């Protein structure tokens, strides 16, 4: 309620004639006004001074007041490129990334990747800085002696397996494995293990760079020059072995119309000239280009005629219009199951050609693709599964059994089955599955308990406790519900076998061993 | 192992290690040797690996395991077995049967040519001469037990190992097929429960017996198929039940399906091969791994294991781009001596009428040798069908070196799909039209006597 006025308002008519117009100074000022986004903005306005403003009169706007409303969405810390996976990014996705682009996650590793976001996580793998660090105990053989990768049978396999387990740059090892399969060279036809190791180091060093550079380096790599008879390919007596496989398997693919039988023969001539010497002490050594052995007449490859060299041979393959589609599809197949979708393939071809055949951008796009995170699983290659299992149980290379066990599982490193590499669609059959079972048993040495040992096992452990303990021992992998249910069912069935008091502890120990084994051979640990 | 916690563990590990390193299964266990505790290797399994018990079991033709009986009952429809032996890498047919009587031979093969008279002459075409290392084949051929294809292949030959081999494996000139020609046969006649019906003996499944549905198997070692475990009796039985359950649960992706299939087949094979014992051959096999596998195979057949189709890779590799003479001699000898011993073993055991062996390679090599004392990829190759029931007659003539094909390769005088049709119809007694696309278009050579 308004307070009643005590004085009577003077009549308007009386004051009117007394009003006198006064001078006004119109002066531009600035002030803060609320903005639509919850912040403030500067607005200009005219202030009418009744007196002349002083010379340095303040015209605003003054310090900005505090923001009225905090922004609803913080600036996106994970800007994902177009076409990248857009779904949730958390531990399950990080686990899949580490499975496919490395050798699985040690307990806690996936959690560390999550705050980096998809892009950050992928780049942490594809853009490692400096040389790799290997942490943990160095590899030893059965007798605890340091391994001798260049000299002892099978130790080259152990040497690489150890790097997979201990490196802080897992994708460097994984991409080396990819190119070991891509340019599959076998020690069967190579005189020294060191030459195989050197070739794998080439893949480590060049695996993210230009494919053309890598292709050229592989073409004159000593192991490859022996494996596909490059040093026996001589002017006047060409050997077609490398010429054919460089197109069929390394850069263009068979049955696509990319090259003809004539191209094979002409490429062989371009590639002539490499040689080496042999001695019983050094094996094949001193690999070099000998111009006298090189065919300098003109050659016609893919319809282009010139006096082509071995470098031209590689370049012509990479410049062949059917190369980019071959490259991106093949690289894709190592990381994502099933055929590459046409749209994705075209996008990757664009990335590849616009970067002048750089591997890294294509690899990053593949590792960020929705199909990798939303699509079905793949079967882990045996060595990848073994390295991952040893990482899970925090074990290092301490036996050479891994050499022949991996061979039985179908993947002895440095000994691919043939120049086409390993067949990723045939990792599992009854003999290879048996080998994975037996590998699991050996991984569990030292974790499995002896039912008859002097220190008896718990006589009261419940089925639930037994399952939980076994899962923890494996570093808490994510198990499918139906597998967990079967493990629990087994644990109960095993307990029902106890018929006498003395069996309570030993049977529970056996049950624990069986649970560890079953988890190791469950699809959860075999798939990535 | 640094983690061993007791002597028993160490001993059992040593046993395994010794076995695996020898590549010949577990060592014999002396009578009275105590059972290692806590290893999961039960007395029954140890004893069953020693000769006596296993032989008693099989000698009495009473296989105690139900899965086994099922398998045999289903296999009883046909007791014929087809064994496929693969010369991996493209064997040089012109070395196995050298055309020493062809005037162009020494011109094309200045360094690699065999001297006339170095090997036995081929009775069906005196132009040709057996490689000395193929004496085993020559012997069986003289007995009328080998049908020879001197120039087998297909029109428009592909010189890629992988494409050409794929054609032979699937029985069709189509890069898109995913089942093997023998796999399709097994899909048609095979059993739902018996992985042994299609068996690869090379540690990995041959694409030739890749099926769409029916189980098939591969083994690393003919000496046994055991799954190690620290579970121990009696808990291990329940463990294997759960393992089998992992193999039977549903799947929502091709990879999961692959794991399920392999798991279930592994468990079945474990049961089927649990009691394989000593081979007891009365033939002395040559001392090499290929021959040892054949020795095991003959014993498996004698044991009554329910096999229909078996694949084995020949000894060594045959992609002889350089230094061909030495490599080929060694590998061909091991293979042919093994095949001869296998045939003799089957004859001794009275099983020879049940087994036919088909020997093949993805292509032959180029008639003109290269500059590395080797040969590059070619076209027409050789194949053989061996057995007491083999017709023993050459199929398609040797085309000669005077006229080669457009790529300077040996011309083809028989089609491998015709051979497959004959094997299906005459040996396996199954309509080839259901297995080989366009079967009606291929001439069927008589392969079975």
Reported as a single tens digit per residue, the pLDDT across A282-314 is: 889 999 999 999 999 999 999 999 999 999 999
- Helices B235-248 and A504-520: crossing angle in degrees, nearest 10, is 30
pLDDT at B74 over 50: no
Residue A302: per-residue pLDDT? 96
Residue B24: per-residue pLDDT? 27
**Which runs of consecutive H residues, i.e. helices, occur in A261-341?**
261-270, 310-319, 323-335
Element (H, E) at B382: strand B381-386
Q: Binning pLDDT at 50, 70 and 90, where does residue A21 land?
A: low
Size of interface A-B (CB pairs under 8 A): 240
Mean pLDDT to the nearest integer, A37-54: 81
| C-beta of residue A470 within 8 angstroms of C-beta of residue A517 | no
Enter the ipTM.
0.83
Q: Binning pLDDT at 50, 70 and 90, where does residue A4 land?
A: low
Probe site for chain B from A226, A430, A503 (most B CB atoms < 10 A): A430
- Pair B355, B370 in one domain: yes
Q: Look at B195 and A518 and tell me if their CB atoms are within 8 Å.
A: no
Mean pLDDT to the nearest integer, B361-371: 95
Q: What is the 3-state secondary structure (H, E, C) of A425-440?
A: HHCCCHHHHHHHHHHH
Probe site for chain B from A396, A412, A431, A503 (most B CB atoms < 10 A): A431
Helices (H) and strands (E) in chain B, counts: 14, 10
- CB contacts of A444 in chain B (<8 Å) are 230
- Pair B304, B431 in one domain: yes
| Chain B: residue whose CA lies nearest to A405 | B20
Please list, in sequence order, all residues whose beta carbon lies within 8 angstroms of the beta carbon of residue A320, skipping any fewer than 6 positions away. A251, A252, A258, A259, A302
Residue B149: per-residue pLDDT? 98
B:13-72 residues touching chain A, CB 8 A cutoff: 13, 17, 20-21, 37-38
Question: What's the distance, Cα to Cα, between the start and end of chain B in Å?
Answer: 57
- Å from A394 to nearest chain B CA? 13
Residue B13: per-residue pLDDT? 36
Select the more confidently predicted residue: B77 or A413.
A413
- Pair B347, B364 in one domain: yes
Q: What is the mean pLDDT of chain A?
A: 91
Residue A87: per-residue pLDDT? 94
| Chain B: residue whose CA lies nearest to A496 | B235
Closest CA to A369 of A11, A100, A64: A100
Using one digit for the tens of pLDDT, what is the confidence trace for B187-196?
999 988 888 8
* Residue at which a domain ends, from B237, B272, B307: B272
pLDDT at B328 over 80: yes
- Å from B394 to nearest chain A CA? 31
The residue whose two tokens read 């292949």 is B153
pLDDT at B60 over 50: no
Alpha carbon distance A306, A111 (integer Å): 56
Q: Binning pLDDT at 50, 70 and 90, where does residue B205 land?
A: confident
Q: Look at B21 and A420 and tell me if their CB atoms are within 8 Å.
A: no
Mean pLDDT to the nearest integer, A210-225: 97
In a domain, B320, yes or no: yes
Closest CA to B97 of B156, B146, B164: B146
Q: Look at B220 and A410 and tell me if their CB atoms are within 8 Å.
A: no
* Residue at which a domain ends, from B238, B257, B272: B272
Alpha carbon distance A187, B380 (integer Å): 30
Percent of chain B whose pLDDT exceeds 70: 82
Q: Look at B230 and A448 and tell me if their CB atoms are within 8 Å.
A: yes
Alpha carbon distance A306, A327 (integer Å): 25
Q: Look at B5 and A446 and tell me if their CB atoms are within 8 Å.
A: yes
Would you call B211 exposed, middle or buried from its count of C-beta atoms within 10 A (0-12, 13-18, 19+)?
A: buried
Using one digit for the tens of pLDDT, what is the confidence trace for B5-43?
333 333 333 333 333 332 222 222 323 322 222 222 222
Probe site for chain A from B177, B235, B264 (most A CB atoms < 10 A): B235
Q: Binning pLDDT at 50, 70 and 90, where does residue B276 land?
A: confident
- CB contacts of A232 in chain B (<8 Å) are 321-322, 370-372, 374
- CB contacts of A490 in chain B (<8 Å) are 238-239, 241-242
DSSP B175: T
| B247 Cβ under 8 Å from any chain A Cβ | no
The beta-carbon neighbor of B6 closest among A255, A338, A450 is A450
- Pair B348, B230 in one domain: no
- Pair B253, B292 in one domain: no
The CATH number that applies at residue B200 is 3.40.720.10
- CB contacts of B229 in chain A (<8 Å) are 441, 513-514, 517
DSSP A60-101: S--SPPPPSS--SSPPPS--PPTTS--S--SHHHHHHHHHHH
Q: What is the 3-state secondary structure (H, E, C) of A207-270?
A: CCCEHHHHHHHHHCCHHHHHHCCHHHCECCECCCHHHHHHHHHHHCCCCCCCCCHHHHHHHHHH
Per the structure, how many domains does chain B have?
Answer: 2
Alpha carbon distance A382, A363 (integer Å): 22
Using one digit for the tens of pLDDT, what is the confidence trace for A316-356?
999 999 999 999 999 999 999 999 999 999 999 999 999 99
Bridge partners (DSSP) of residue B386 are B146, B357
Q: Look at A410 and B241 and tell me if their CB atoms are within 8 Å.
A: no
pLDDT at A13 over 70: no
A:200-239 residues touching chain B, CB 8 A cutoff: 228-229, 232-234, 236-239
- Pair B247, B283 in one domain: no
pLDDT at B443 over 60: yes
pLDDT at A69 over 80: no
Q: What token pair was written down for A364?
A: 């990053």
In a domain, B33, yes or no: no
Alpha carbon distance A109, A168 (integer Å): 11
| A148 Cβ under 8 Å from any chain B Cβ | no
Q: What is the 3-state secondary structure (H, E, C) of A99-147?
A: HHHCCCCCCCHHHHHHHHHHHHHHHHHHCCCCCCCECCCCCECCCCCEC
Element (H, E) at A359: helix A359-367
- CB contacts of B374 in chain A (<8 Å) are 229, 232, 239
- Does the pTM exceed 0.90? no
Q: Look at A232 and B6 and tell me if their CB atoms are within 8 Å.
A: no
- Å from B263 to nearest chain A CA? 7
Q: Binning pLDDT at 50, 70 and 90, where does residue A6 land?
A: low
- Pair B341, B377 in one domain: yes
| C-beta of residue A284 within 8 angstroms of C-beta of residue A226 | yes
| B160 Cβ under 8 Å from any chain A Cβ | yes
| B193 Cβ under 8 Å from any chain A Cβ | no
Closest CA to A410 of A388, A389, A378, A439: A439
Strands A274-279 and A283-289: antiparallel
Residue B42: per-residue pLDDT? 25
In a domain, B61, yes or no: no
The count of C-alpha atoms lying within 13 angstroms of the C-alpha of A390, restricted to the half-sphere facing its C-beta, is: 24
Residue A57: per-residue pLDDT? 83
Helices (H) and strands (E) in chain A, counts: 23, 6
Q: Binning pLDDT at 50, 70 and 90, where does residue A70 land?
A: low
Alpha carbon distance B67, B65 (integer Å): 6
Using one digit for the tens of pLDDT, what is the confidence trace for B156-187?
999 988 889 999 999 999 877 788 999 999 99
Alpha carbon distance B272, B268 (integer Å): 6
At A520, give phi and psi (nearest 5°): -65, -30
Residue B54: per-residue pLDDT? 24
Using one digit for the tens of pLDDT, what is the confidence trace for A105-160?
998 899 999 999 999 999 999 999 899 999 999 999 988 999 999 999 899 999 99
- CB contacts of A244 in chain B (<8 Å) are 159-160, 377
Strands B381-386 and B355-361: antiparallel
pLDDT at A489 over 90: yes
- CB contacts of A236 in chain B (<8 Å) are 371
Q: Look at B259 and A240 and tell me if their CB atoms are within 8 Å.
A: no
> Measured in whole angstroms, how far is the alpha carbon of residue B183 from the centre of its chain?
14
Listed range (A73-82, A234-243, A459-468, B103-112) with the worst mean pLDDT? A73-82
Alpha carbon distance B269, A434 (integer Å): 10
- Pair B125, B256 in one domain: no
- Å from B338 to nearest chain A CA? 23
| Chain B: residue whose CA lies nearest to A420 | B162
- Pair B338, B355 in one domain: yes
Q: Look at A513 and B321 and tell me if their CB atoms are within 8 Å.
A: no
| A430 Cβ under 8 Å from any chain B Cβ | yes
Alpha carbon distance B47, B30 (integer Å): 10
Q: What token pair was written down for B391?
A: 């017709």
Write out the residue range of the structural domain in which residue B232 sits.
226-272
- Pair B126, B210 in one domain: yes
| A452 Cβ under 8 Å from any chain B Cβ | yes
- CB contacts of A261 in chain B (<8 Å) are 159, 407
In a domain, B230, yes or no: yes
| Chain A: residue whose CA lies nearest to B252 | A376
In a domain, B11, yes or no: no
| B443 Cβ under 8 Å from any chain A Cβ | no
In b/e form, how buried is each residue of B318-348, taking b as 16+ CB within 10 angstroms? Answer: bbbbbebeebbeebbbbbbbbbbbbbbbbee
- CB contacts of A511 in chain B (<8 Å) are 231, 235
In a domain, B54, yes or no: no
- Å from B120 to nearest chain A CA? 31
Residue A59: per-residue pLDDT? 86
Q: What token pair was written down for A192?
A: 């020294």
| B7 Cβ under 8 Å from any chain A Cβ | no
Q: Look at A432 and B261 and tell me if their CB atoms are within 8 Å.
A: no
- Pair B259, B390 in one domain: no
- Pair B251, B365 in one domain: no
A 10 A CB-CB count for A180 gives 21
Q: What token pair was written down for B173?
A: 């000139």
- CB contacts of B172 in chain A (<8 Å) are none
Task: Provide long-range contacts, Cβ within 8 A and 24+ apart, for A196-201.
Answer: A196/A156, A196/A223, A196/A414, A197/A149, A197/A150, A197/A156, A197/A159, A197/A414, A198/A222, A198/A223, A199/A223, A199/A224, A200/A160, A200/A176, A200/A414
- Å from B320 to nearest chain A CA? 10
- Å from A424 to nearest chain B CA? 11
B:393-412 residues touching chain A, CB 8 A cutoff: 407
DSSP B411: P
Mean pLDDT to the nearest integer, B306-317: 95
The residue whose two tokens read 């062949």 is A320
| A137 Cβ under 8 Å from any chain B Cβ | no
Bridge partners (DSSP) of residue A289 are A274
């Amino acid at each position: 309620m308004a307070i009643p006025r005590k004085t009577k308002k003077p009549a308007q008519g009386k004051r009117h004639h007394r009003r006198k117009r006064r001078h006004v100074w119109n002066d531009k000022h600035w002030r803060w006004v609320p903005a639509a986004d919850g912040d403030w903005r500067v607005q200009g306005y005219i202030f009418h001074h009744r007196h002349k403003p002083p010379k340095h009169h303040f015209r605003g706007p003054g310090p900005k007041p505090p923001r009225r409303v905090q922004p609803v969405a913080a600036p996106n810390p994970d800007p994902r490129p177009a076409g990248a996976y857009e779904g949730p990014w958390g531990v399950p996705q990080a686990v899949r990334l580490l499975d496919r682009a490395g050798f699985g996650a040690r307990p806690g590793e996936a959690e560390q990747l999550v705050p980096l976001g998809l892009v950050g996580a992928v780049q942490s793998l594809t853009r490692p800085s400096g040389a790799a660090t290997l942490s943990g105990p160095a590899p030893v053989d059965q007798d605890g002696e340091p391994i001798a990768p260049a000299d002892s049978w099978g130790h080259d396999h152990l040497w690489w397996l150890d790097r997979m387990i201990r490196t802080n740059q897992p994708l460097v090892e994984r991409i080396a494995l990819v190119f070991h399969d891509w340019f599959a060279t076998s020690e069967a036809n190579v005189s020294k293990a060191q030459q195989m190791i050197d070739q794998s180091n080439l893949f480590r060093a060049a695996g993210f760079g230009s494919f053309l550079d890598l292709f050229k380096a592989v073409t004159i790599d000593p192991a490859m020059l022996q494996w596909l008879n490059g040093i026996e390919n001589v002017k006047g007596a060409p050997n077609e072995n490398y010429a054919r496989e460089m197109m069929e398997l390394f850069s263009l693919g068979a049955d696509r119309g990319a090259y003809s039988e004539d191209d094979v023969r002409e490429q062989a001539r371009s590639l002539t000239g490499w040689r080496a010497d042999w001695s019983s002490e050094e094996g094949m050594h001193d690999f070099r280009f000998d111009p006298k052995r090189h065919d300098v007449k003109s050659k016609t490859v893919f319809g282009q005629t010139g006096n082509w060299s071995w470098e031209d041979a590689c370049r012509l393959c990479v410049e062949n219009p059917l190369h980019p589609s071959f490259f991106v599809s093949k690289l894709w197949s190592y990381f994502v199951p099933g055929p590459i979708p046409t749209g994705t393939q075209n996008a990757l071809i664009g990335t590849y050609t616009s970067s002048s055949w750089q591997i890294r951008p294509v690899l990053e796009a593949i590792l960020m693709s929705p199909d990798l995170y939303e699509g079905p699983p793949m079967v882990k290659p045996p060595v990848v599964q073994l390295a991952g299992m040893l990482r899970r149980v925090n074990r290092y290379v301490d036996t050479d059994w891994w050499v022949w066990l991996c061979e039985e599982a179908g993947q002895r490193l440095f000994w691919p089955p043939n120049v086409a590499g390993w067949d990723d669609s045939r990792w599992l059959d009854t003999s290879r599955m048996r080998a994975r079972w037996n590998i699991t048993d050996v991984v569990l040495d030292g974790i499995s308990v002896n039912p008859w040992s002097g220190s008896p096992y718990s006589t009261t452990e419940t089925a639930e406790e037994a399952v939980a303990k076994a899962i923890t021992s494996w570093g808490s992998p994510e198990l499918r519900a139906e597998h967990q249910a079967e493990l629990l069912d087994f644990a109960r069935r095993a307990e029902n076998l106890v018929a006498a008091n003395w069996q309570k502890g030993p049977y529970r120990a056996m049950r624990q061993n069986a649970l560890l084994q079953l988890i190791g051979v469950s699809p959860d640990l075999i798939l990535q | 192992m640094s983690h061993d916690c007791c002597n028993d563990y160490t001993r059992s590990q040593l046993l395994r290690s010794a076995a695996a390193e020898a590549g010949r299964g577990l060592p014999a266990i002396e009578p009275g040797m105590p059972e290692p505790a806590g290893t999961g290797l039960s007395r029954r399994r140890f004893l069953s690996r020693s000769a006596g018990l296993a032989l008693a079991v099989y000698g009495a033709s009473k296989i105690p395991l139900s899965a086994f009986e099922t398998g045999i009952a289903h296999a009883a429809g046909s007791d014929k077995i087809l064994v496929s032996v693969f010369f991996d890498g493209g064997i040089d047919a012109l070395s196995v049967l050298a055309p020493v009587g062809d005037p162009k031979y020494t011109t094309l093969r200045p360094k690699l040519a065999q001297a006339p008279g170095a090997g036995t002459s081929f009775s069906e075409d005196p132009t040709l001469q057996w490689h000395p290392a193929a004496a085993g084949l020559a012997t069986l051929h003289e007995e009328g037990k080998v049908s020879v294809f001197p120039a087998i292949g297909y029109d428009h030959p592909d010189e890629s190992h992988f494409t050409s081999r794929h054609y032979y494996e699937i029985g069709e000139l189509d890069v898109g097929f995913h089942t093997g020609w023998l796999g399709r046969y097994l899909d048609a006649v095979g059993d739902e429960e018996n992985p042994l019906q299609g068996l690869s003996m090379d540690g990995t499944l041959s694409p030739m017996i890749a099926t769409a549905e029916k189980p098939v198997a591969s083994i690393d070692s003919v000496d046994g198929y055991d799954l190690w475990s620290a579970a121990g009796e009696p808990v291990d039985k329940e463990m294997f039940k759960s393992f089998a359950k992992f193999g039977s649960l549903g799947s929502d992706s091709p990879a999961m399906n692959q794991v399920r299939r392999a798991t279930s087949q592994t468990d079945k094979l474990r049961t089927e091969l649990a009691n394989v014992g000593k081979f007891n051959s009365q033939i002395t096999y040559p001392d090499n791994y290929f021959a040892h596998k054949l020795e095991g195979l003959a014993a498996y057949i004698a044991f009554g294991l329910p096999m229909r189709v078996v694949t084995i890779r020949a000894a060594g590799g045959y992609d002889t781009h350089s230094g061909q003479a030495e490599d080929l001699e060694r590998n061909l000898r091991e293979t042919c001596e093994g095949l001869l011993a296998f045939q003799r073993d089957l004859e001794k055991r009275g099983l020879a009428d049940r087994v036919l062996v088909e020997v093949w390679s993805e292509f032959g090599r180029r008639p003109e040798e290269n500059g590395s004392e080797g040969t590059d990829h070619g076209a027409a190759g050789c194949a053989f069908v061996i057995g007491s029931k083999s017709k023993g007659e050459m199929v398609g003539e040797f085309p000669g070196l005077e006229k080669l094909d457009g790529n300077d390769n040996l011309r083809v005088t028989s089609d491998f799909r015709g051979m497959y049709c004959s094997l299906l119809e005459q040996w396996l007694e199954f309509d080839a039209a259901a297995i080989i696309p366009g079967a009606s278009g291929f001439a069927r050579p008589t392969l079975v006597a």
